[in-house]
């Protein structure tokens, strides 16, 4: 009799734990991946930046510059039927060089004007940027964290080459989620037109990022919540958290990669860029920036950032 009682208690405890885990998995999916308002990031100390950076991000001259440009709006249907939107800005003087840019989590294509203004005005390059699936004008009811987006970027690259010719040369430049996106893209079979990748503040994988944030934000262990959240993500968005790995992709990459990361980044720790760098199959370099938080490096040390870009592109892409 006692054994049966204990068995019922154990089954009850397991059942309650399972129900809690299932509820939590749907909660975390809605919180981070479902396309909706993300209020949970407001007031997040890990995303706090200096007053100088905040002013530049919100009121910098680059925003006025973006508003003054006439981007050609491109439309594309993804392999899984989503309507995606991209934007192309032709250089003032004809050139075969194109910077393809990828924005961060909850951002949009025009956020990359922060870098685009420099590339366009100072270097005279063509620019292309796109709204990631689940963002901006692009379709999708979920956020792909770069995984499905990598295939979208392969298609965007092909479209650029088809439009502007086989001699087109392309550099990929992404920040945060966009950095992971271009790294995931780098692991695909890319045309020789893609000369290099710039990854600013990337994460190793979605699973690693979520595990880090689950501990930091909620003080919860990865198990059992991440595996169950991954199952929900696979059912609803078509990918698993471990599958969405920039680390696995850079182990296959043939294109040179420059990693840039702020040492003061507590949202996506700089150790993730270090791990990516150490596991990159292709030629790679890593620049870390002291006193720079998440995605702050370009503002904190703009001259050094640009010098590193130019040196890297001259060495590995033969771009002046």
Tell me if 269 is assigned to some domain.
yes
| Count of residues in the chain | 320
Tell me if 25 is assigned to some domain.
no
Tell me if 126 is assigned to some domain.
yes
**Cβ atoms of 141 and 134 closer than 8 Å:** yes
Residue 273 C-alpha from the chain's centroid: 13
Burial class (CB in 10 A: 0-12, 13-18, 19+), 31: middle
Give the C-alpha separation, 122 to 83, whole Å.
33
Cβ neighbors of 59 (< 8 A, separation 6 or more) are none
Give the C-alpha separation, 234 to 53, whole Å.
37
Tell me if 82 is assigned to some domain.
yes
Give buried/exposed letters for 260-291 (b at 16+ CB in 10 A, else e): bbbebbbbbbbebbebbbeebebebbbbbbee
Tell me if 221 is assigned to some domain.
no
Tell me if 3 is assigned to some domain.
no
Cβ neighbors of 30 (< 8 A, separation 6 or more) are 36
Count of structural domains, the chain: 1
How does pLDDT run across 110-129, given as a tens digit for each residue? 999 999 999 999 999 999 99
Strand partners, 101: 129, 173
Residues of the chain above pLDDT 90, percent:
76
Residue 77 token pair:
């249907």
Domain region containing 127 = 50-205+244-316
99: domain CATH number? Answer: 3.40.50.1820
Tell me if 200 is assigned to some domain.
yes
**Cβ atoms of 175 and 272 closer than 8 Å:** no
How does pLDDT run across 266-300, given as a tens digit for each residue? 999 999 999 999 999 999 999 999 999 999 999 99
At 208 the pLDDT is 97
pTM: 0.92
3-class DSSP assignment, residue 252: coil
Tell me if 80 is assigned to some domain.
yes
């Amino acid at each position: 009799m006692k054994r049966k009682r204990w068995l019922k208690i154990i089954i009850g405890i397991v059942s309650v734990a399972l129900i809690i885990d299932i509820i939590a998995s749907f909660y975390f999916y809605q919180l981070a991946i479902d396309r909706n308002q993300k209020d949970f990031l407001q007031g997040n100390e890990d995303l706090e930046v200096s007053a100088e950076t905040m002013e530049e991000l919100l009121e910098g001259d680059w925003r006025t510059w973006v508003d003054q440009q006439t981007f050609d709006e491109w439309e594309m249907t993804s392999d899984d039927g989503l309507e995606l939107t991209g934007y192309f800005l032709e250089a003032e003087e004809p050139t075969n060089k194109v910077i393809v840019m990828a924005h961060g989590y909850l951002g949009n294509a025009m956020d990359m004007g922060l870098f685009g203004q420099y590339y366009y005005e100072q270097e005279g390059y063509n620019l292309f940027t796109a709204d990631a699936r689940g963002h901006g004008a692009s379709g999708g009811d979920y956020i792909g964290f770069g995984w499905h987006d990598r295939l979208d970027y392969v298609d965007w690259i092909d479209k650029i080459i088809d439009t502007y010719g086989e001699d087109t040369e392309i550099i990929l430049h992404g920040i945060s989620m966009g950095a992971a996106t271009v790294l995931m893209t780098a692991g695909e079979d890319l045309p020789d037109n893609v000369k290099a990748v710039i990854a600013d503040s990337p994460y190793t994988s979605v699973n690693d990022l979520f595990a880090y944030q689950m501990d930091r934000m909620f003080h919860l262990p990865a198990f059992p919540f991440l595996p169950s959240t991954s199952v929900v993500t696979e059912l609803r968005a078509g990918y698993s958290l471990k599958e969405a790995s920039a680390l696995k992709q850079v182990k296959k990459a043939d294109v040179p990669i420059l990693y840039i990361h702020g040492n003061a980044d507590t949202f996506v720790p700089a150790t993730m860029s270090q791990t990516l760098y150490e596991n990159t199959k292709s030629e790679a370099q890593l620049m870390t920036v002291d006193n720079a938080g998440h995605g702050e490096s370009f503002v904190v040390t703009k001259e050094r950032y640009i010098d590193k870009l130019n040196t890297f592109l001259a060495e590995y892409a033969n771009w002046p």
